Amino acid sequence: MENKELAKQMAEINEKLDFLTEQMREQQRRQREFQELKEDLVHIGKDIFQSAVQQLEEVSPYYDTSDLTFLLKKLLRNTRNLIKMMNQLENAVDFLEDAKPLGKMAFGELLETLNTMDRKGYFEFFGEVTKIVDTIVTSFTAEDVRLLRDNITSILLTVRSLTQPEMLSTVNNAMGFYRKMDIIVEKDISYRKIIKELRDPDVKRGLVFMLEFVKSMANPNGKQSRQKLNSTT
């Protein structure tokens, strides 16, 4: 009985020794891997340090250690501002993502509007207007434009006078009379017939109107005399 218990205890001891041996091997493996990693990091650190020293030597004439310290302090003082700016940037990115569908819709409506304008002939019309402007630019000199600028007031006043209702009515009557004019002048006209026609009040008013018109053309700055002729003149 004692032999069995002793054998059992020996088996448990051997099992524990095997477990401890395996743990020691695992620990040694980990230490070996850590040592290898440490050596690799040392080599990498040396390379990084040498590269940093080389890069800093290239820019050393342009900065000083105090500048680097000042920059670091500045960054630390503005950490909250930087965080706020990054948050705003994220919000802007989110807004752009949300606005993409609206942008596509607006772009589609713009294309549709341009297509409608093209069908109606807007672009062709603007092209012809451009040609008109080009013709004006190539046909008139800078001196012509200067003269137009100097006399634009007189031109506009003349246009305003021509567009008055009474003037338009007079021009319209004259054009209507010209279109319907069927006057036939006889070949043989005696002075007696001319004198007889001069007695007509309408002829008298027409002659006076012509005289006043000629006088106004000859003296545009003078006072125009207005004569009222009754039917008995």
What is the DSSP secondary-structure string of 14-39? HHHHHHHHHHHHHHHHHHHHHHHHHH
- Domains in the chain, number: 4
CA 180 to chain centre: 56
Radius of gyration of the CA atoms of the chain, in A: 54
By the 10 Å C-beta count (0-12 exposed, 13-18 middle, 19+ buried), 230 is classed as exposed
By the 10 Å C-beta count (0-12 exposed, 13-18 middle, 19+ buried), 128 is classed as exposed
- What is the model's pLDDT at position 7? 78
**What is the domain range of residue 33?**
15-58
Residues 78 and 121 in one domain: yes
Is the pTM of the predicted complex or chain greater than 0.75? no
- What is the model's pLDDT at position 219? 65
Residues 147 and 133 in one domain: no
Counted residue by residue, the chain has a size of 233
> Roughly how many angstroms between the first and final C-alpha of the chain, as a whole number?
172
Residues 33 and 50 in one domain: yes
Q: How far apart are CA 233 and CA 205, in angstroms?
A: 9
**Contact in structure between 201 and 231 (CB atoms under 8 Å):** yes
- What is the model's pLDDT at position 218? 65
In-domain check, residue 204:
yes
- What is the model's pLDDT at position 230? 43
Residues 84 and 114 in one domain: yes
Residues 176 and 155 in one domain: yes
In-domain check, residue 228:
no
Residues 178 and 198 in one domain: no
**Contact in structure between 217 and 196 (CB atoms under 8 Å):** no
- What is the model's pLDDT at position 228? 43
In-domain check, residue 3:
no
**Which of 29, 58, 87 is the C-terminal boundary of a domain?**
58
* 233 residues of the chain, pLDDT tens digit each: 567 777 777 888 888 888 888 888 888 888 888 888 888 888 888 888 888 778 777 777 776 777 778 888 888 888 899 899 999 999 998 888 888 888 888 888 888 998 898 888 888 898 898 988 888 888 888 888 888 888 888 888 888 877 888 777 877 777 776 666 666 666 677 777 777 777 888 878 878 877 877 777 666 555 444 444 444 44
- What is the model's pLDDT at position 96? 85
In-domain check, residue 115:
yes
